[in-house]
A and B are shown apart, each in its own frame.
Chain A
Amino acid sequence: MQTLLRTPLYDRHVAAGARLVPFAGWEMPVQYEGVIPEHLAVRRDCGVFDVSHMGELEVEGPRARELLQALLSNDLDRIGPDQAQYTLLTNDEGGIVDDLIVYERDPERFLLIVNAANRDADFAWLRDREIPGATVRDVSDDYALLAVQGPRSLERLGLSDAPAFTFAEGEIDGVACTVNRTGYTGELGCELLVKEGAGGELWDRVVSRGAVPCGLGARDTLRLEVCYPLHGNDIGPETDAISAGLGWVCALDKEFAGVEELRRIKESGPERKLAAFVMEELGIPRQGMAIAEGGEVTSGSHSPMLERGIGMGYVPAGTAQPGSELTIDLRGRPRRARVVKKPIYSREEQHGG
């Protein structure tokens, strides 16, 4: 039996009564009080997630930018120092090895924060393609990472607002950390990158400022409501960015792995598209359920904000437009759903500004 890895916050999770589950080789909290109250805390106020299982890869050297430009789909020249960018690591067929955020520390130093399940694969992928003048290191074990998310998150942390996808060195009650204005919930918030040894102390400070501890259960429902794809569910090496609706992070005017295939798909139009849908009948769609019109559910759950089933799945392009009706096979029971414009939930629309 493989031993599960534990983050520096493991003892805090146990003390807080978290329900721990195996996830991508890690023993992680899936919930504390419950998925729904944690979800609502993030939508209404502020929650904190331990995401220390995520991987951190450093790419440094005079040719670091050149290496990354050839392997990542987005155009690094669109950002400068202290800025971050959502991007894809693509294979030669245009498939998605991983989705990640790249942080430009300075023009020769980049940090990639990658999915926990892909940490080893991403590192091997980059190492195999290293060029003289660009060095790749896995520094995941050096850091803990806390995502603090919600409309009151920055206020609760005593941080002034900053543009999304920027980062800066900072501190929370004396604990030094890098404050990244990024997240995976669709809410205002930040991700705090901290030295591994100070992770527990930072967690305590953040919680004492009123952030509600939240588990991976709420992280999944929050990201699905705003249609952020989950690698391994909605995107993967066999799916391409254009069909997934991620063309906006692909700079098709530059050269990178798989770009020719992506240009071809863009030109001819994808056969299937990743559509978001809301159930019109009772029941909760789950990953793997068949869609009668073609394809299957890649992510499905109950939406705490809509209080009904929601999901995403690749459907024939002709039925991917908002308004199209879908029929989901809910364990032998056909149930109606309707394709909606992404995101399924948006703060601005629901609260009327």
Chain B
Amino acid sequence: MAADGNPGDLRYHAEHDWARIEGDEATFGITWFAQDALGELVHFEPPEEGSTVRGGEPYAEVESVKAVSDVVAPLSGEILEINRALVDAPETVNADPYGDGWIVRVRLSDLAEAESLMDAASYEQFLAEQG
């Protein structure tokens, strides 16, 4: 099964999460690979509004029929906005993981952290190595 292609303007975390960094804010989501591995999502457990997230740590949960999975924050910061539409329509993540399926918007607390993330080419290399 071919991926839709991982956008070049995003940064990627090894737990198959992405960040779109714009100044000191970023939008987070899960990658095409992650949603494909999980299958159709049937539940989204959002984080608390205004809570803080730490890079590499879970901040939300998504569930398919068969399994629950933590959603890991690629970067640290404070949650500004949650994509509430996912509570009623979690399958949006499957349909559009890099667009309407975004999960949270965050004010970043450590801009240097972004250096630890992969660009699209590195992430695709990483996926290929995982085989």
Interface residues of A (CB under 8 A from B): 17, 30-31, 34-36, 217, 221, 282-284, 286, 301-302, 304, 307, 309, 331, 333
Contact A35 B87 (CB under 8 A): no
Q: Kindly list chain B residues whose C-beta atoms are within 8 Å of the C-beta of A31.
A: 39
Determine the residue in chain B with the shortest Cβ distance to A286: B68
**What is the CA–CA distance of A284 and B61 in the complex, to the nearest angstrom?**
11
Q: Can you report 14 residue pairs joining A to B where beta carbons are below 8 Å apart?
A: A17-B1, A30-B66, A31-B39, A35-B39, A35-B40, A35-B64, A35-B65, A36-B42, A284-B42, A284-B68, A286-B68, A301-B65, A331-B61, A333-B45
Q: How far is the CB of A207 from chain B (nearest CB, A)?
A: 20
CB contacts between A and B, total, < 8 Å:
38
**Which residue of chain A has the shortest Cβ distance to B63 in the bound complex?**
A284
Q: List 12 additional contacts besides A217-B65, A217-B66, A302-B65; criterion CB under 8 Å.
A: A34-B39, A35-B39, A35-B64, A35-B65, A36-B65, A221-B65, A282-B87, A283-B43, A286-B68, A301-B66, A302-B43, A331-B61
Taking a contact as CB atoms under 8 Å apart, the answer to whether A304 and B43 are in contact is no
Which residue in chain B gives the minimum CB-CB distance to A301?
B65
In the docked arrangement, what's the CA distance between A207 and B43, Å? 32
How many positions in chain B have a CB within 8 Å of any CB in the partner chain? 13
A282–B63 CA distance with the chains assembled, in angstroms: 11
**Closest residue on chain A to residue B39 by CB atoms:** A34
Q: Which of chain B's residues has its CB closest to A217's CB? A: B66
Q: Please tell me if the beta carbons of B42 and A302 are within 8 angstroms of each other in the complex.
A: yes
Q: Whole-angstrom distance from the CB of A26 to the nearest CB of chain B?
A: 17
**A17 — which chain B residues lie within 8 A by C-beta?**
1
Docked complex: B37-74 residues within 8 A CB-CB of A: 39-40, 42-43, 45, 61, 63-66, 68
Chain B residue nearest in CB terms to A39: B65
Instruction: Give the complex CA separation of A301 and B64 in angstroms.
Output: 9
Residues of chain B within 8 A (CB-CB) of A221 are 65
